[in-house]
Amino acid sequence: MKTDKRNIRTLSKPEIAEYLEDLGEPKFRAAQVYEWLWQKHAFQFGDMSNLSKELRATLSADFSFPSLRIETTQQSSDGTIKNRFKTFDNHFVEGVLIPATERRTACVSSQIGCSLSCKFCATGYMERERNLEFDEIFDQAVLLNQQSQKIHEKKLSNIVFMGMGEPLLNYKNVLKAIERITSPEGLGMSPRRITVSTAGVSKMIRQLGDDKVKFKLALSLHAANDAKRHEIMPINDSNNIRSLIDALNYFYKQTGNEITFEYILLRDFNDSLKDADELVKVFRQVPADLVNIIEYNAIEHALFTKPDELTTALFMKHLEKNKVNARLRKSRGKDIDAACGQLANKVGESLSKN
């Protein structure tokens, strides 16, 4: 569905005020419209109930209001909820609500598909259709927040950009979405509760530092030497581990923000004590707070499997012995393909219309 109308959510508050002034509307009307767009979370002009029908019709005639819709939801036995969102132009993207005792975390996507082709990730086997716009990313957070309030009677506590796509290859939209998510005129969430995860784009990690962002950064490392990392993550060709270490140190020097490493254990590939030792060496070169060791989740296209419990325990023990702050992250939502690396717009049998 194409339209030549300007998306109303690309207008600033002064631009909305100028437009409404030209219509002869009172000055306070701009604040009302802006509030509906970002704080009251309208998804169409008809939702703006304190505006006259005439004004709503005029807005609808002059502007477009593309927004996400939840097409389907799927609930895991562990309480995790996967949502399939539909865009205004009939693409699909997924987001996940992950409840825990103290937290309710939204995992959001930044692109429709992905161009990086990581071998352990289902999204990596998809084509990248396009970047998500900043308001589409914002909508994911809003819809998952509403879902959390409805089901758990509590707002989101955290947001992680660990869904479909590479956030740093959609840099401007991701930063603008986070600006709206953290604004008191938006969701009002603290940036310290937001983590952006990257497969490793050194130049853009440095740009995050230059932009003095306030959110946390996670690097998907998954192998601690270049040969292995290249084998499973082709992006390592142009962003090798040395360049990433330098970029992360620059990011930390500029921001002081928390850095974590993500490391998926793959059986007989990166799970030996030698691999653990290489991870220790990388960890010691970066002011990282934590290494998240992640259980591998099987996907249709890849032949990887997860190591047995003993191998995992020995790997963790080696990190602990070398004073690496590491945590084994148990997968959530595996039974509905909602766990780490499984998002691929795959519709399961237990999906229900929303």
In a domain, 132, yes or no: yes
Of the residues 25, 94, 133, 166, only one is catalytic, namely 94
Domain-embedded: residue 349: yes
Question: Please, what is the Cα angle at 66 between 61 and 70, to 5 degrees?
Answer: 135
Residue 276 and residue 248 in one domain: yes
Q: What is the pLDDT of residue 77?
A: 85
What pLDDT sits at residue 335?
54
Q: Which of 107, 118, 121, 340 is catalytic?
A: 340
Q: Is residue 336 part of a domain?
A: yes
* Same-domain status, 277 and 346: yes
Residues 310-320 have a mean pLDDT of 97
54 labelled catalytic: no
Residues 285 and 195 in one domain: yes
* Pair (192, 296) in one structural domain: yes
Q: Do 49 and 195 belong together in one domain?
A: no
Q: How far apart are CA 86 and CA 353, in angstroms?
A: 12
Q: Which of 28, 44, 64 is the last residue of a domain?
A: 64
Do the Cβ atoms of 293 and 283 come closer than 8 Å? Answer: no
Q: What is the pLDDT of residue 31?
A: 97
Q: Are residues 21 and 130 located together in one domain of the fold?
A: no
- CATH number where 212 lies: 3.20.20.70
pLDDT score of 74 more than 50: yes
Do 54 and 202 belong together in one domain? Answer: no
**Same domain, residue pair 40 and 90:** no
Check residue 352 and give its pLDDT: 36
What pLDDT is attached to residue 353? 36
Least Cα distance to 127 among 137, 114, 142 occurs for 114
Is the domain of 13 the same as that of 59? yes
One domain for residues 161 and 262: yes
pLDDT at 339 over 80: no
User: b/e per residue, 263-282, with b = 16+ CB within 10 A?
Assistant: bbbbeebbbeeebbebbbeb
Q: Is 94 a catalytic residue?
A: yes
Q: Which domain holds residue 36?
A: 6-64
Average of per-residue pLDDT across 38-53? 96
Crossing angle between the packed helical segments 134-152 and 171-182, to the nearest 10 degrees:
40
Mean pLDDT across 206-233: 97
Residue 122 resides in a domain: yes
> Do 131 and 20 share a domain, yes or no?
no
Looking at residues 24-32, what average pLDDT do you find? 96
Kindly state whether residue 17 falls inside one of the protein's structural domains: yes
pLDDT digits (tens, 9 = 90+) for 248-291: 999 999 999 999 999 999 999 999 999 999 999 999 999 999 99
Q: How far apart are CA 331 and CA 341, in angstroms?
A: 10
Q: Give 158-185 pLDDT, tens digit per residue.
A: 999 999 999 999 999 999 999 999 999 9
Task: From residue 351, give the alpha-carbon distance in Å to each of 76, 143, 297.
Answer: 10, 17, 20
CB distance 307 to 261 below 8 Å: no
Asked whether residue 345 is domain-assigned, the answer is yes
Judgement on whether residues 35 and 13 belong to the same structural domain of the protein = yes
Provide the token pair at 227. Answer: 């040969």
Tell me the CATH number at 49: 1.10.150.530
| Residue 182 belongs to some domain of the structure | yes
Q: How many domains does the chain have?
A: 2
Which of 64, 80, 112 terminates a domain? The answer is: 64
Q: Which residue has the higher pLDDT, 302 or 18?
A: 18
Assess if residue 1 is contained within a domain.
no
Is residue 124 over pLDDT 80?
Answer: no
Element (H, E) at 206: helix 202-210
pTM to 2 decimal places:
0.92
Percentage of the chain modeled with pLDDT above 70: 92
What the block records as the tokens of 196 is 């952006």
